[in-house]
Structure 1
Amino acid sequence: MATEWFLMPNLIMAFVIVVCLALFYLMPRMTRPDVYFAVTVPSEFRDSEEGWSILKRYRVEVAIGSVLALLIVLAPARTGDFGYGLFLTLGGFFLQGAGVFFAYYRARRQVLPHAVAPVTVREAALQPRPARLPGGWLLQFPPFAVLAGTGIWLDTHWDEIPATFPIHWGAHGQPNNWSARTFTGVYGSLLMGVVMCAFMGFLAYAFLRWSRPVQAAGPQGERERRFRRMVGSILVGTQYLLALQFAWIGLTPLSRPQAGPPSVVPILVIALGFVVVVSVLMMHYGQGGTRLPGAAASAAGGRAPVGDRTPDKYWKLGLFYVNRDDPALFIEKRFGVGYTLNFGHLGVWIGLAVLVAVTVAIALLAPSQHHP
């Protein structure tokens, strides 16, 4: 058990690094055809000789950084020295991130001379856009039911909960922080789960309600709607994953200290499986559904680059969108698949402030830690 406890964070991070390597390797080909390294370009540029040359060097640099990060993360498994395990785990993760950003930034600078003005005329559907969550409100019930059921189970087994129980284990698999059998000590994690699931549900609704489409009509518009529904489904699926994780944490008071830390393998298998499924879906759809069947033929019929219908000047480093005159809260990413926030919108900052306030409230509700 001790060896498993030692290696688990490193093995998890190694898996994450491998998945991220695959995503970053493919990412430039997953964006819209006329957006290349966050720059609006003619749709044929990325298939040109220069476009391929830029991509190849980017991929080599990403691969080198990721392999170095992987070696750092797995160093404790090779040396048997786990004293710096957490430091190496975080160090490898940040090394990969820094390497990817360096490769992206260099490639973006090479693409910028080929930039063209994007189409800024926006399309809008004449009928109201439904903001219906995938599966409707009925699918919002199970995550909260799981958390409530866990709370009821704890209540019916209250007498079996020790006066103090471990909530954290050290590098050797020995408990080093404890909590008392109080309301916040026992139910605190479940309350956190309720807050997080509610937040994810609201985020899914807000995304479907206040994200701006790039193309609203025709086959391209239909593929984009399918893409948005897929993203909304992922957000709803995240609710279920969070409910399972917090329910698992919520059962910690019933664990036996003498048995060592509870096995994290089942919940990690579910979480990592979810990550793989999401990654495969993103690669299949492409940004805005541009990799779905028929998308290439539709794009070939266009005469002018469309991009995402946002001027390049509002993108900082091609990653952060800041436009006070744009009413949309969610904007398609220019590098990657999915959406980012419009940091020029007041509503975004209000939402972030609420999120920070909720995080502080969760920290205050967290079980008090002490040694028995």
Structure 2
Amino acid sequence: MTPVVAALAAVVLIGCIALITPALARPTLPFGVRVPDDRAADPAVIAQRRAYVRLVLLAMVLFAPLTATFGQLWLAGFGVACLTLYHRAHLKVRAAKQAGRWLAGRRQGVTVNTSFRSDPVRLPWRWILPAVAITLATAAFGRWRYDALPATLAHFHGLGVDPARRAPTTALAAFEPVLFQAAVTLAFPALTMVLLRARPDLDAARPAGSARRYRVYLRGMARLCLLGAACVNFSLFIAALQLWEVSAAGTAAAVLPLAALLLGPLAWEWRVGQGGHRLPALPGEEKEDSGLVQRDDDRHWFLAGTVYANRHDPAVVLHARFGQTWTLNLGHPVTWAIAAALAALVLLALTGVIDLPERQSLF
């Protein structure tokens, strides 16, 4: 794949993700703004959806030749432009909501389902087995290949090798991809467990139906997350073959399995919707209506529904309003502790007290 074709493909991929992102959200969360059901198709919302699509397509046309000519910096600029356009639509819808007083006179509330604590969605452990199998197979192949390795190995970084930089062959250098695979195999279940314990994204108007749908959605996302570990490990396996000089496959071959890591959750969310809102209702759920609308909490959300800060909310992790993402509550002391630990780590690294691993590009 030539650099020009790769650049154009990247622009198209980012543009397509930007175009479908608003369609994944709940109808009552257009561009991250909380609106009642009967305002989901308001002319102001429809106008911003159409304007957003036109502007993203225009940005694709403008940035594609720039990215193909001048490189990845313009690709990053295109991503920033898409986020800016999304935030613009967010501000427009929020202004229309405030000007029209869409929630005036409505009973607002939230729903709590304690079954997510007493009977939580379980971690589907068997879905991590492909990642474990790939790790063990890579380790076994590496052990078989180890005695035939040359005296020096190319420098391993991310998902490829740098033939211009070589180092003496040691067990640590030879099995570095396997160590990364082991870390991924442990990290993905831990991350999935955190998401399973995050606060459920439920609808106050349909408490029972939304809780059932969210369980289905969460089980699917948990399985895809664990399968994502297998995708990463397979990419590392291809990179290991390059390191052990078994295959001359380029970095692009190692990156391709990661496409499933992105496209799988996107396909699942397209099918079931954010929080599972597109799933069909079961008998008895069609007419469910508590008489409430979801409480207006826009004041706690920032940057178009990607950042949440509420000192009075006990939740630490919750589903963001942007795509298939989760976020931390920046108003919670646990988040402050995490931020403080990261800040201390950076400070110690800057002052030379500790040495962080050398930063390397995936490519």
1:250 and 2:250 matched: no
Structure 2, unpaired ranges of 5+: none
TM-score, structure 2 as length reference: 0.78
User: In structure 2, how many angstroms separate the alpha carbons of the residues matched to 1:245 and 1:182?
Assistant: 22
1:240 and 2:247 matched: no
Where does 1:57-76 land on structure 2 (aligned, <5 Å)? 57-73=51-67, 75-76=68-69
Where does 1:78-117 land on structure 2 (aligned, <5 Å)? 84-113=70-99, 114-116=101-103
User: In structure 1, how many angstroms separate the alpha carbons of the residues matched to 2:9 and 2:171?
Assistant: 32
Deviation string 1:45-83 (CA, Å, 9 cap, x unpaired) is 12132332232222222222233233332x23xxxxxxx
Report how far residue 288 of structure 1 moved. Answer: 1.5
1:193 and 2:181 matched: yes
User: Could you tell me which of 155, 163, 179 is aligned with 1:175?
Assistant: 163
What residue is the counterpart of 2:267 in the other structure?
Answer: 280
1:345 and 2:339 matched: no
**Structure 2 counterpart of 1:20, one-letter code:** I
Could you tell me whether the CA contact under 8 Å between 1:36 and 1:111 is conserved in 2? no
**Structure 1 counterpart of 2:191, one-letter code:** L
Could you tell me whether the CA contact under 8 Å between 2:18 and 2:56 is conserved in 1? yes
What residue is the counterpart of 1:138 in the other structure?
Answer: 126
Report how far residue 7 of structure 1 moved. Answer: 4.4
Point out which structure has higher relative CO (alpha carbons under 8 A, 6+ apart): 1
User: Could you tell me which of 303, 311, 324 is aligned with 2:297?
Assistant: 311
User: In structure 2, how many angstroms separate the alpha carbons of the residues matched to 1:302 and 1:241?
Assistant: 42
SS, match of residue 318 in structure 2: strand
Deviation string 1:305-358 (CA, Å, 9 cap, x unpaired) is 533x5722221243311123323232222233443222223334555677897x
Could you tell me whether the CA contact under 8 Å between 1:65 and 1:99 is conserved in 2? no
Report how far residue 133 of structure 1 moved. Answer: 1.1
Could you tell me whether the CA contact under 8 Å between 2:313 and 2:332 is conserved in 1? yes
User: In structure 2, how many angstroms separate the alpha carbons of the residues matched to 1:33 and 1:300?
Assistant: 18
What residue is the counterpart of 2:112 in the other structure?
Answer: 123
User: In structure 2, how many angstroms separate the alpha carbons of the residues matched to 1:355 and 1:199?
Assistant: 18
1:336 and 2:323 matched: yes
Deviation string 1:245-265 (CA, Å, 9 cap, x unpaired) is 222222332226xx8x52345
**Structure 2 counterpart of 1:130, one-letter code:** P
User: Could you tell me which of 148, 166, 174 is aligned with 2:136?
Assistant: 148
Report how far residue 15 of structure 1 moved. Answer: 4.3
Q: 1:177 to 1:51 in 2, by over 3 A?
A: same
Give aligned pairs, total.
342
Q: RMSD between aligned alpha carbons?
A: 3.6
What residue is the counterpart of 2:258 in the other structure?
Answer: 271
Q: 1:241 to 1:254 in 2, by over 3 A?
A: same
Q: Percent identity?
A: 21
What residue is the counterpart of 1:81 in the other structure?
Answer: none
1:211 and 2:209 matched: no
TM-score, structure 1 as length reference: 0.77
Report how far residue 267 of structure 1 moved. Answer: 3.9
User: In structure 1, how many angstroms separate the alpha carbons of the residues matched to 2:356 and 2:136?
Assistant: 21
User: In structure 2, how many angstroms separate the alpha carbons of the residues matched to 1:285 and 1:314?
Assistant: 26
Report how far residue 10 of structure 1 moved. Answer: 1.8
Report how far residue 17 of structure 1 moved. Answer: 1.7
1:21 and 2:53 matched: no
**Structure 1 counterpart of 2:108, one-letter code:** V
